[in-house]
Amino acid sequence: AQSVSQHNHHVILSEAASLELGCNYSYGGTVNLFWYVQYPGQHLQLLLKYFSGDPLVKGIKGFEAEFIKSKFSFNLRKPSVQWSDTAEYFCAVNERGFKTIFGAGTRLFVKA
């Protein structure tokens, strides 16, 4: 069955540190890839998505993610985090259809 693995459940960083959150998926076919974010007290919102083309995609708030097909990975990065990036981040995959599978999430805490 298709699955999504997020390597870190909790990450603590200081402001201005660089961020990389790992995501690997198990499906070998053509996929759409997503990162969603949930800020404290808010609902899930789309951060960025990859459908095709340039494997480096840029999203809101300075986030980017790189699709590496050979590694089945879609890691999320940000060069310099801010306190306001404190949130839970979910990687998600769908098989070019409707059923999207989510990872378990990574809680990021940024110290001011």
Partner 1 sequence: GAGVSQSPRYKVAKRGQDVALRCDPISGHVSLFWYQQALGQGPEFLTYFQNEAQLDKSGLPSDRFFAERPEGSVSTLKIQRTQQEDSAVYLCASSPQPGHGKIFGPGTRLTVT
Q: Which of 8, 18, 104, 109 binds partner 1 (CB under 8 A)?
A: 104
Three-class SS of 27-47: CCCCCEEEEEEECCCCCCEEE
Query: Does 74 sit near partner 1 (CB under 8 A)?
Result: no
DSSP three-state, residue 10: strand
Per DSSP bridges, beta strands 45-50 and 32-38 are antiparallel
**Which residue from 14, 18, 45, 84 is in contact with partner 1, where contact means CB under 8 A?**
45
Token digits for 24? 């690997």
Nearer to partner 1, 34 or 81 (CB): 34
Q: How far is CA 38 from the centre of its chain?
A: 11
Q: Which residue type occupies 23?
A: C
Does residue 90 bind partner 1 (CB under 8 A)? yes
**Number of residues lying near partner 1 (CB under 8 A):** 22
Q: For residue 17, give the 3-state DSSP assignment.
A: coil
Residue selected from 22, 27, 64, 94 as contacting partner 1 according to rule CB under 8 A: 94
Using CB under 8 A, pick the residue from 28, 29, 53, 97 that binds partner 1.
Answer: 97
Contacting positions for partner 1 (CB under 8 A)? 4, 32, 34, 36, 43-46, 49, 90, 92, 94, 96-105
